[in-house]
Structure 1
Amino acid sequence: MSNSRQSVSRRSLLIAGGAAASVVAAPDESRALARGTVRPTDTAGDDAAWRTKIDVHHHVTAPAWVDWAEREGLLRRQELLWWARWDVDSALDVMDRAGIATAVLHPTMQDRYRTPAQAKEGLTVVFQALTDLTHEHPGRFAFLCPALLDHPEVTTWALRRAFDDLGAVGVSVKANYNGVYLGDPSYDRFLAELDERSGVLFTHPLDLPGRPPGVPTVAGIPNFMCDFALDTTRAAVNLIRTRTLDRYPRLSVVLPHAGGFLPHIATRIDAFGGFCVPPIDAARVRDYLHRFYYDTAGPLSPACTLVATAGADRILYGTDWPAASVDIITGFTGPAVEADHAFTDHQRRGIYRDNALRLVPALKRACDTT
């Protein structure tokens, strides 16, 4: 194969993270192994010793839910993109390669319901699939309750069901719903319910409001490249502007992809926060930057920026599987933590495991069985 064809193939794998990538190791496995990002073959008899990481950013589109959604006319299986073609064997394989003990599952595609009744039925299918996974693979999976902020009554029911009966460890929520971002007063009931539970909210971006789903804002540039980071940043700034964490002090918020652009524009918010309504003062910006949590999925922006902005104890290990291929996880995300001189060994242990256990005590029940 020519060098140009190799380059195209490599680039396509990194961007698409397709199904084939789920069972392929990093191109230079010996180099990745030296970094500690690929499971060494001589530890096959000691899985527990090798698997130590907690992945807080693992997407799941449960096959049982796909079956149900297709019957309901909510999707067509043949049109699903790679990130919605999840299966447990590929997931466990990638987890083993990356040294992941437990993955926190974020249910995807939960914004397609037409009615509250359909949403409740769909969530019932999701919850059954997730609890089956945790029982069939003890210690390997924990899960988040998906919040449907456009169906508030269903969300209240889902929180009670997921936390009180099924053992969910947190909540997944989009950065915005129909252009209304987290922090907006219309979500206060939901946030108050989470605050009562000292809940952990994992937010996630999608296409920017006002754009058709999947249509690039800039031709030739996939929306996940830039728009997703902006979606997260908008949500974070709005949470700061509306003093959400002051109003709900027991609530914790995890920003994916190292906080989007937030760490990089912190000084800009300091300088121009007075133009917001109500104004954001610099002290509040600095306070909130140290109150958010950030995951490494994406891959991680320069660690020195994030450590200086938030502190290493606010960083959590996340992979973004299967949106991110195994090649990205072992070749980029892992080395971003493992080889970056901004982190000490103690800080790496925190990022890989200890920070997540401190933030989400319910994870201890799952991890104790690994």
Structure 2
Amino acid sequence: MAEIIDFHTHFLPRLYAQALKKHIPGDPDGWPTPGWDEHLTLTFMKKNHIGYSILSLSSPHFNFGDKEETIAIARDANDTGERVTQDHPDQLGYFASLPLPYAQESVSEIDVALAHSALGFTVPTNSRGLYFGTPIFDPVYAKLNQEKAIVLMHPNRPAQGPMNVNIDMPIPLMGFFIDTTMTFMNLLRYHFFDRYPDIKLIVPHAGAFLSILADRDAAFVKQQYNSDMFAALRHVYFDVAGTVFPRQLPMLLTLADEQHLVFGSDIPYTPPLLASQMIKLFNEREYHDKMSRRVSRLQRFDGFFNHFKKLRPLPTVLKMSSNMLTGAEILSPEMAQDILVNNGKRLLELS
């Protein structure tokens, strides 16, 4: 496996896509459902020097209250994952889905998936209000620990949110971060990392709000849960999917093990063009310099843009671009190579 390894990239198997249309009117989570086939992923990989991508389901989680449907969607997703792995063994792999909250059926699916080429598993932060880390799923955690499994946690819509505020904001913009952070705290509460130390858990989106809250919450966690939040943050893995510059990734680097950071593009939910720009921030100093000069030139025309309604957002976009480039400068070439390639190889035990 050469080049970048993408740990957070999505696919939409047939039954899953059909279930979204059946159960959710409009855009799930307030975010359009993209089209997908493996050629979209492979084309993106070729353009961006990605050697290997590991496919998994995104949100919403597929438990809509019907047990048999939940089991069928998980099985179809894993069958699809196996098929694309067989068709493109040197380029694509998959993290298997589990029919949570059905614990025994999920344990059985772990055995089936591992026998059919799964590289690990993806789990939702919550399934209809039952959160990952809750003791009701202990048989699942025990099996994953026994298998020393890689487990990619993916955010879901929070089980319950505040009413009458931000009702027009898509869930991925803030709700995902809330649910990821609450789930991590739930794991601490139930001593997940002490009881199941061999699960290699990947926390998505550079840890959501965790790097902001760690100093505020660590003392409470130690006193009330008898858990070490800082040790847990160094124990887990993080993917860097999303807009992690200029602030989020530098903050995370003060808490995480640098060798536990892996790359994620989040396509097709993140548009491929935007995901391509994020990759360039990691590994092309020439791109940084070129974009910095371009942004500086365009920022001279801020007053001009303000005279035209359609152009008014452009100064804000330019400021964001400038900030992203500044944040990316914290990465040495060696650290960028570790995040994009080497850490993933070690996690997959390829080196």
Report deviation, 1:131. Answer: 1.5
In structure 2, give the amino acid aligned to 1:229.
F
Q: In structure 2, what is the equivalent of residue 97 of structure 1? A: 47
Local SS of the residue matching 2:255: helix
Is residue 82–residue 322 contact of structure 1 (8 Å, CA) maintained in 2?
no
Which of 146, 149, 166 is matched with 1:196 structurally? 146
Match of 1:258, SS state, is: helix
The AA in structure 2 aligned to 1:87 is: D
- Give the percent of matched residue pairs that are identical in Structure 1 and Structure 2: 22
- Note if 1:61 corresponds to 2:12: yes
* Deviation at residue 336 of structure 1 after TM alignment: 5.1
Write the letter of the residue equivalent to 1:299.
T
Confirm or deny: 8 A CA contact 1:148 1:173 kept in the other structure: no
Aligned residue in 2 for 1:300? 244
Asked whether 1:273 is paired with 2:221, we answer yes
Q: Structure 1 residues 124, 222: CA separation in 2 closer, same or farther (over 3 Å shift)? A: closer
Question: Which amino acid in structure 2 is aligned with residue 354 of structure 1?
Answer: N
Offset of residue 348 of structure 1? 1.6
**Per-residue deviation, 1:161:** 0.5
Letter in 2 for 1:162: A
Cα–Cα, structure 1 residues 118 and 207, in superposed 2: closer, same or farther, change >3 Å? closer
In structure 1, the partner of 2:277 is: 331
In structure 2, what is the Cα distance between the partners aligned to 1:345 and 1:240?
34
- CA deviations on 1:314-350 (whole Å, 9 max, x unpaired) are 1100011111011221223541565623222222221
Q: Does 1:353 align with 2:341?
A: yes
Pair 1:244 & 2:192 matched:
yes
Q: 82, 105, 109: which one pairs with 1:131?
A: 82
- Choose which of 199, 206, 218 in structure 2 pairs with 1:258: 206
Quote how far apart the aligned CAs of 1:220 are. 3.6
1:232 lines up with 2:150 in the alignment: no
Q: Of the candidates 156, 173, 184, which is equivalent to residue 206 of structure 1? A: 156
Helix, strand or coil: the match of 1:103?
A: strand
Task: Give me the whole-angstrom Cα distance separating, in 2, the residues matched to 1:216 and 1:319.
Answer: 32
Deviation sequence 1:282-317 (CA, Å, 0-9, x none): xx1111110111111112253321211113211100
Corresponding residue for residue 162 of structure 1: 113
- Between the aligned partners of 2:278 and 2:244, the Cα distance in structure 1 is 8
Please report how far the alpha carbon of residue 84 of structure 1 lies from its aligned counterpart in structure 2 after TM superposition. 4.3
For residue 308 of structure 1, give the secondary structure of its aligned residue in structure 2: coil
Once residues 216 and 137 of structure 1 are traced to their aligned partners in structure 2, the CA distance between those partners, rounded to angstroms, is 47
- TM-score w.r.t. the length of structure 1 is 0.74
Cα distance, 1:65 vs structure 2: 5.3
- In 2, the alpha carbon distance for the partners of 1:262 and 1:337 equals 25
Question: How far apart are 1:262 and its partner, in Å?
Answer: 0.4
Corresponding position of 1:222: 170
Contact 2:3–2:49 (Cα < 8 Å) also in 1:
yes
For 2:283 and 2:63, how far apart are their aligned partners in 1?
35
Give the AA of the match of 2:267.
W
Q: 1:203 is paired with a residue of what secondary structure?
A: strand
Give the count of matched residue pairs: 304
> Structure 1 residues 240, 211: CA separation in 2 closer, same or farther (over 3 Å shift)?
closer
Judged with a 3 Å threshold, the aligned counterparts in structure 2 of structure 1 residues 59 and 257 are, in CA distance, closer, same or farther, namely same
Are the aligned partners of 2:78 and 2:97 in contact in 1 as well (CA < 8 Å)?
no
- Mapped to 1, the partners of 2:87 and 2:94 lie a distance apart of 14
Deviates more, 1:267-276 or 1:217-226: 267-276
Please give the secondary structure, in 2, of the residue aligned with 1:120: helix
Unaligned runs of 5+ in 1: 1-47
Point out where structure 2 has 5 or more consecutive residues left out of the alignment. 286-327
Is the alpha carbon distance of 1:343 and 1:186 closer, same or farther for their aligned partners in structure 2, counting shifts above 3 Å? same
Quote the Cα distance in structure 2 between the aligned partners of 1:216 and 1:297.
29
Cα distance between partner residues in 1 of 2:143 and 2:136:
13
